[in-house]
Amino acid sequence: MGVADGPSRWSIERFGPTLAAALWQRIPAALHRAVELARDAHEASELDTDHAFGPVRWKQQYEVLHEHLRDLPDVTDVHPPGAQVRVTVCRGHVLLPWRYAKRGNVDLASVHPGRDLGRLARDLLVLFGPEPAYREVPLPMMPVTPDESRERGPLREAVEGVAADPRVLLVGYAANSEDGLLRVSWGEAALARGDVLEWRHVEELPLSGEPSRGRPAPLG
């Protein structure tokens, strides 16, 4: 999977050509900035572990993504009940950042969800992601999983309050505290039983094209 020269037909169908082109550039720039802020915290902590890098990166991936996209048309945000972050919604698409790997040679579509795909992301995928190709019918004595048993009514109401027909797009990236941002991809996947992502579409975004610090370039 390589990086195209511009936005794909898949993204243009969802956002239109102008907005798709802006997202194609700004999403990697935002994640670059979020990772750099986490690296700064890691260096300032003078720890030989990632105890400072991880929490800062997780928080900033949501906050900086919204900062880079908020002036675009049809962009808003939602603060899920009980969550510590606000989630960006662009033209009805819930954009979920996810650090899926620490190395740049790992494809987004090849990994199973780990701890970095947390409860909020899982709940949003269950509510608004594509339906799995096969939904196993639980046996009478089979215990339900935590993902199946959670109450998601308030989360559904909050998201549907800003988007009439929400859809979830995963924005996956590879990064670590030594090398920074290594790879960015996005796409659509269903969360199936057994901690499996069934990908409908996935594609890479460019790492370059816009500075990581400062305000993003204006649209158009």
What percentage of the chain reaches a pLDDT higher than 70? 86
What confidence tens digit (pLDDT) does each residue in 118-169 have? 899 999 999 999 999 876 655 555 554 555 557 899 999 999 999 999 999 9
pLDDT tens, 94-105? 999 999 999 999
State what percent of residues in the chain have pLDDT above 90: 70
208 CB contacts (<8 Å, ≥6 apart)? 28
Q: Mean pLDDT in the chain?
A: 88
DSSP 196: E
What does the pLDDT look like over 188-210, one tens digit per residue?
999 988 789 999 999 999 996 44
Q: Mind giving me the DSSP string for 66-96?
A: HHHHTTSTTEEEE--TT-SS-EEEETTEEEE
- Whole-angstrom distance, CA of residue 4 vs CA of residue 22: 14
- Residue 49 makes CB contacts below 8 A (sequence gap 6+) with none
